[in-house]
Amino acid sequence: MVVRQSPVGVIIACACCLGVGLAIGYFYGKQSGNATVAGNPAQVQAPATGEPSLLQHEMALKSILASSPRDLNALTQLGNVYYDGGRFAEAAEAYGRALDIDPKNADVRTDRGTCYWNMGQPDAALAEFAKALETAPTKAQTLYNMGVVYLNGKKDSAKAKAVWEKLLATNPDYPDRTKVQEQIASLGAAEAAPARSPAPGASTQSPGVEDLVNRLKKKP
């Protein structure tokens, strides 16, 4: 059935189209010369209405994917939008579609594993991290995240320590090297100390674990 659209409806529709167009233009402006989300703010000119919201980015990316469903960059960025919005299941699905196209992309694989961790699935997270390391054996963020999941998700301090030792050995300039060294030292001290029952209400995590878990994130 054909419905006549009122003048007000036309104005609203035009405004929506303009908003999506601005978001698409902004999105491609951010991607010019840079395959990652990060860019130089000085090189990005936001539209007059301000920086697009996550919803506008989502709409723009879905518009691209409607005509190019195998656009690897658009799928990856859609996953990033969902991740930044805390929509981890949708982010994992978008990253999965990207990995169907480029299964050896260690960055996307690591991000997908981090989604699973945030969804409370440590085994799935570790599986993704392991696949990422098959392609990039010394990838710092993957090793860091894997250590956090082993320690806090699987309660396996020995594996966490081994992973973090590999991280430091293969990435001598790792920016948070000191903090990781402190954590490794605390794990060693915990292993050497005699076992004892924790006081009622006391945390069962090793010192510094809370900080490390809070810093578990996607690639810089």
Tens digit of each residue's pLDDT (9 = 90 or more) over 191-217: 665 555 555 554 444 444 444 444 555
Comparing 28-37, 120-129, 161-170, 183-192, the range with the smallest average pLDDT is 28-37
Taking a C-beta distance cutoff of 8 angstroms, is the pair 110, 219 a contact?
yes
Residue 50 backbone class (left: φ over 0; alpha: ψ -120 to 50; beta: rest): left
Residues of the chain with CATH 1.25.40.10: 53-103
Q: Which two tokens stand for residue 101?
A: 């196209």
CA-CA distance, 207 to 219, in Å (whole number)? 24
Class of domain 53-103: mainly alpha
CA proximity to 142, closest of 172, 164, 120, 169: 164
Phi then psi dihedrals of residue 195, to 5 deg? -70, 140
CA-CA distance, 181 to 185, in Å (whole number)? 6
Q: Mean pLDDT, the chain, as a whole number?
A: 76
pTM above 0.85, yes or no: no
